[in-house]
Chain A
Amino acid sequence: MKRTVFIFILLAITAASSLMVACGTTSPAKQPGAEEVKTIKMGCTLPFDTSLGMDTKKALEMIVPDFNKNGGLMVKGQKYNIEPIIYDDKYTADGGRAAVERLVNEDKVRFIICQVGSAPIVAGLQVTEPAKVMVMCGGASSQIIDLKNKSVFGTATWRTNLAPLFPLLKKAFPNAKTMVNLSPDDETGKALARDNAKIATAMGIQVLDNIYYPRSTQDFAPFATKIAALKPDIMDYPGAVAGTQFGLQFKALYEAGFQGAHVSPMAPNPVEIFAVAPKESMEGLISVMAATDIPNPKPLAQQYRNAWTAKYGEWSNASLNWIPAFYAFVEAIKKTDSVDPEVITAYLSANGLSWQSPTGSAMLVKRPDFKNDRFCDTCASLDFGIFKNGKYEYLGTVSAEDALKANQDAFGGNWK
């Protein structure tokens, strides 16, 4: 009997201690004054089947943990770390909307940062705008900076980098008179083709045709044959992904006998381009150049490149166009000393923002040409290059202020 009671007591003690351990009551009491770190959820949707999507994902997975490790954010005396939550948007409106709904409704995200493609971004705005979720994104569509949107900021330079680029193009190719736009037949491509045609016409260049292709196109031979028959002096690629598909376009045009200049608002990815196209096909390309690839890059750009190669090995510049949104986001929180998206949005919309990122300095601007008096778009410092004699040569850098001036001259109105 005694033995049974003893075993019973022993079992009871064991069960009680297990329960205490499970409930954590045996853990040491929290030290007074120990810092409690809160988390800001930062949502993002990216096309996982493209290099720019995957590289941006890799970039966020590299810079956000580094940022947290280096102290994170301090807002009203409270320490915050950033937690990225990234879903695949398949570069489509449907995929984008579904991913954003998941972020907003399931993950309770209140900031969506670094999205890439116009179609998913514009579709996602139908969810983020009513929920007052702040969005800082790439995407070329002018729908992003539409008057009706109040909580979105375009932090890439797609809508503002052609105005400073075209004078350089005219200087490099003074006899160029005609141009053809080759764009994807989606929101990004059509919006950029419209804008580019507007700027080209203002610069005295006649747009012979806007040719649209489905974004998944791989065979550009029919397009190239048509373009070669039109004999334009300049080929423009608004909205093209500057990697493999860009290479396929160059290759097809080269094979069709096109010998004019190429212009691109996006920094090309030579590794992917030369994987499918001969070097000669890129001859005469004048474009934005990656800030990391210019001679003597700025420290932040060099630091970014070093961190990338240390973590991933081979350098790829595809993420550079999209990550400035993260730096703008951090700067916006610091500037407003708030993690409330409504407070931040109201401040930025009224006062604008300047920030530094690996691509250089940037600032939010108004878009009076779209009758939008809110700081909603971005002008940034831009590095330009030309592909000549088999080499990509640095042409020069235009400051954010000069880019702003070029755009004001081209589109009119006061952007500040």
Chain B
Amino acid sequence: MMEKGENVPLGLFIQLLINALSLGSVYVLMVLGLDIILRGTKILNFAHGQLYMLGAYMLFLFLQMLHVDFALSLLLSMLVLAVVGAICYVSIFHVVRQRFIVSTTFSYRLLLSAMASVGLMMILQQGTLLIFGTQERGIQSPFPQIIDILDVRISLLRLIVIVVSVVICLLLYLLMYKSKLGKVLRAVSYDPEAVTLQGINTFWIFVLCFALGSALAGVAGGIIAPLFSVTPSMGHDVIFLSLLVLLVGGIGSYKGTVLGGLLVGLLLSFGFQFLGGIAELFVFLLVIIILSIRPGGLLGEAAD
């Protein structure tokens, strides 16, 4: 046990940092997906955790049952989830939105969409239970190697989780800020009516937002599956922490999402080492403090 005043050994510090980054980067992917859907379609998708769970099951299906290569399995999981996301939008959320009239208030629209997402959450959960059963599924790590440098033992898979997350974040950045499509996606998040007046069919943009967000949840679930295990209930815990990350970073800010994810990862990893099981409470405390100082989150729009 560390005594008061004793320095944290460098090895332990690096170990905790790697844990924090690998955990945080998964939250970043999750929350980026949640944020794209929320900003683009104004739907608070509570079923995002179940899409993450479905991503993990898809990886289990491709990697473990069909013996497809890990990278390809991850890509396929992502694609399947994109299709699932698009179908969900068209068959559920679009139908709900069709019922809105001009006088339907924003908060009522948000509430109805959120309720629909709770329904979707149950459908996905029960569907997975029916198809894959209730039991936990284990996936052997495709990269079981441990890198041992100067008393620091780092799992190669954890490093790969970090690298894949960074690559996806960069690709997403390029898509959102350096492409025409990204410009449209961002424009829709600000004013969909104005975009419609420019002759752009917002229906397909909404479908794309949902597909992209779901694909990100799928890749987060898929990449984490060999690190942990796959269970039908794995989406429950992650959705609440993801919502907290979203609030910490700030809704509508990609940089804020990355910052929030990493901050929560660091807090959980280092907090557990030095504070024990109450570390999770500090995440909630952090959210309260940040929101009371900056109601829009660290880099969110309301902060401006």
A residues lining the B interface (CB < 8 Å):
48-51, 53-54, 185, 208-209, 211-213, 216, 218-219, 221-223, 225-226, 229-230, 243-245, 247-248, 251, 255-257, 272, 274-276, 278
Contacts and interface: CB of A to CB of B under 8 A. Distances in A.
Contacts of B269: 221-222, 225
Interface string B18-52: 01001100000000000000000000000000000
Given A216-B233, A216-B237, A219-B23, A226 B273 contact: yes
A255 B229 contact: no
Contacts of B22: 221
A211 B1 CA distance: 12
Given A219-B23, A255-B153, A276-B229, A229 B12 contact: yes
Contacts of B268: 222
A143 B233 CA distance: 28
Contact of B228 (A208, A219, A225, A230): A219
B273 A48 contact: no
Contact of A275 (B1, B133, B140, B158): B140
Q: What 7 A-B pairs have minimum CB-CB distances, sorted nearest first? A: A275-B138, A218-B228, A276-B138, A222-B272, A244-B136, A244-B229, A221-B19
Interface residues of B, number: 38
B23 A257 contact: no
Given A219-B23, A222-B19, A276 B272 contact: no
A192 B158 CA distance: 32
Contacts of B231: 49, 218
Nearest to A278: B144
Contacts of B136: 49-51, 243-245, 272
Contacts of B16: 222, 225
Contacts of B236: 216
A231 B144 CA distance: 23
Given A222-B268, A225-B273, A49 B134 contact: yes
B228 A248 contact: yes
What's the dominant secondary structure at chain B's contact region?
mixed
Nearest to B155: A255
B15 interface: yes
Contact of B153 (A218, A247, A256): A256
B135 A51 contact: yes
A31 B22 CA distance: 74
B53 to A, nearest CB: 12
Contacts of A48: 134
A185 B276 CA distance: 12
A218 B229 contact: yes
B233 A272 contact: no
A209 B158 CA distance: 27
B272 A223 contact: yes
Given A49-B231, A222-B269, A255-B155, 6 more contacts: A49-B232, A50-B135, A209-B1, A216-B237, A276-B141, A276-B228
A256 B269 CA distance: 14
A388 B268 CA distance: 35
A86 to B, nearest CB: 13
Contacts of B232: 49
Q: Which of A211, A229, A248 has the most CB of B within 10 A?
A: A229
Given A51-B136, A222-B273, A276-B138, A248 B153 contact: no
B137 interface: yes
10 contacts: A50-B136, A54-B135, A209-B1, A216-B237, A244-B138, A255-B153, A255-B155, A276-B138, A276-B140, A278-B141
A45 to B, nearest CB: 15
Contacts of A257: 148, 153
B139 interface: yes
Nearest to B237: A216
A256 B15 contact: yes
